[in-house]
């Protein structure tokens, strides 16, 4: 992941985040340090989108971080890549939900992938 934005963690140390992979609740928070399983799930969703789109850069490679932040805060969503199987896309969509409380858990994601694998 590209890491360029500075923020503070709970130990008040400087750390970097990527606006491309960062969950919306992290982008909206003042100190950008309220990471959770749900925010990790969101980042996983963006990473899966990148894999399914054959390595395309989320939100475009020629876009500045400030522009991406504004687009993300305006609720711009990633679209289903052309070659992404519908069942995989449904998993990705559940990872990218705006509301952290309704995103799938890591355990649920694992279960969904196992279900696809066993079919």
CATH value at residue 94? 1.10.510.10
CA gap 119, 98 in Å, rounded: 30
Helices 106-118 and 86-95, packing angle to 10 deg:
180
Q: Which domain holds residue 13?
A: 5-118
SS3 85: coil
Residue 17 pLDDT class (50, 70, 90 cuts):
low
Which helix H or strand E contains 73, and what residues bound it? helix 65-73
pLDDT in tens, 78-119: 999 999 999 999 999 999 999 999 999 999 999 999 999 887
Q: Which residues contact 25 (CB under 8 A, 6 or more apart)?
A: 34, 38, 39, 100
- The count of domains in the chain is 1
Tell me the pTM.
0.82
């Amino acid at each position: 992941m590209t890491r360029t934005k500075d923020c503070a963690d709970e130990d008040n140390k400087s750390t970097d985040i990527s606006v491309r992979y960062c969950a919306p609740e992290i982008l909206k928070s003042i100190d950008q340090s309220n990471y959770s399983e749900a925010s990790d799930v969101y980042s996983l969703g963006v990473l899966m989108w990148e894999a399914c789109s054959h390595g395309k850069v989320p939100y475009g490679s020629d876009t500045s971080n400030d522009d991406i932040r504004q687009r993300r805060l305006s609720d711009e969503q990633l679209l289903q890549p052309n070659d992404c199987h519908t069942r995989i896309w449904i998993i990705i969509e559940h990872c990218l939900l705006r509301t952290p409380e309704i995103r799938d858990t890591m355990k649920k994601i694992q279960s969904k992938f196992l279900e696809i694998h066993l079919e």
